[in-house]
Amino acid sequence: MKITLNGIQINYTERGLPQGLPVVFLHGFPFNHTTWEPQMKALPNNIRAISFDIRGHGESDVAEGQYTIELFVDDLIALLDHLVIEKAVVCGLSMGGYIALRGIERHPERFRALILCDTRSEPDPDEAKIKRSATIRAIRKDGVPTFAGAFLKAVFAERSFQAAPQAVEAVRTAIIANSPVGICGTAIALAARTDTTRSLPAINVPTLILVGELDALTPPAASRTMHEAIAGSELHIIPHAAHMSNLENSPEFNKHLLTFLNRIRDRS
């Protein structure tokens, strides 16, 4: 379903009863909302599950291709307003986690709970910013399909190419479907994102942190740092998974997700 938010068309999908606990899923870079399918399908009807394509990704508009994390947060809040959701559980993976962390820093009153998956609060160090620039050059030179092949090796554990080939191919398809302009614009936004580490102690909503044990991009150490800074948060390491923990070990990921959401719903 497409709606107009902040002057562009945003594509989103929704499952569950309208009166259910609202949970908004934010995908990683450079994917789309379909990477949350194993979670959307696993949630009961008393959860109002919403996932959407962040601008520049999937079926949402690319627009001018000049993005910031701030702009992505604006879109998230506009989506909540459109759906008349006062407070939501926000679940973000990787880039989605960056958006969620900046979102709760700016709009804490809109968050009922927070789920951070394979992400970090620190900004890109110089080395990572240089890699973002290399990504842009590679896409301009060789195209998105070639970039996708290399990127998959960075986000999936080696064993996942044999153990979860359908997930790997689904992510490859999602990447290739994206516009080069959208991918490059988002890479710049990621490189320019702010440090939200100092705001972690101010988070006072229930927080779940999940990370793949083999995640090399946002390793468990980064999740432990957030866990130590956010009072009352819970941390679970997902075995046999790297950066795409929700796809590489969906049963384990979903077990912790459902337990956490049931607890939040019972408190409502």
What are the boundaries of each domain within the chain? 2-267
Q: What is the pLDDT along the chain (268 residues), one digit of tens a residue?
A: 999 999 999 999 999 999 999 999 999 999 999 999 999 999 999 999 999 999 999 999 999 999 999 999 999 999 999 999 999 999 999 999 999 999 999 999 999 999 999 999 999 999 999 999 999 999 999 999 999 999 999 999 999 999 999 999 999 999 999 999 999 999 999 999 999 999 999 999 999 999 999 999 999 999 999 999 999 999 999 999 999 999 999 999 999 999 999 999 888 6
Find out if CATH 3.30.1330.10 is the number for domain 2-267: no
User: Read out DSSP for the chain?
Assistant: -EEEETTEEEEEEEES-TTSEEEEEE--TT--GGGGHHHHHHS-TTEEEEEE--TTSTTS--TTS---HHHHHHHHHHHHHHTT-SSEEEEEETHHHHHHHHHHHH-GGGEEEEEEES--SSPPPHHHHHHHHHHHHHHHHH-HHHHHHHHHHHHS-TTHHHH-HHHHHHHHHHHHTS-HHHHHHHHHHHHTPPP-GGGGGG--S-EEEEEETT-SSS-HHHHHHHHHHSTT-EEEEETT--S-HHHHTHHHHHHHHHHHHHHHHHH-
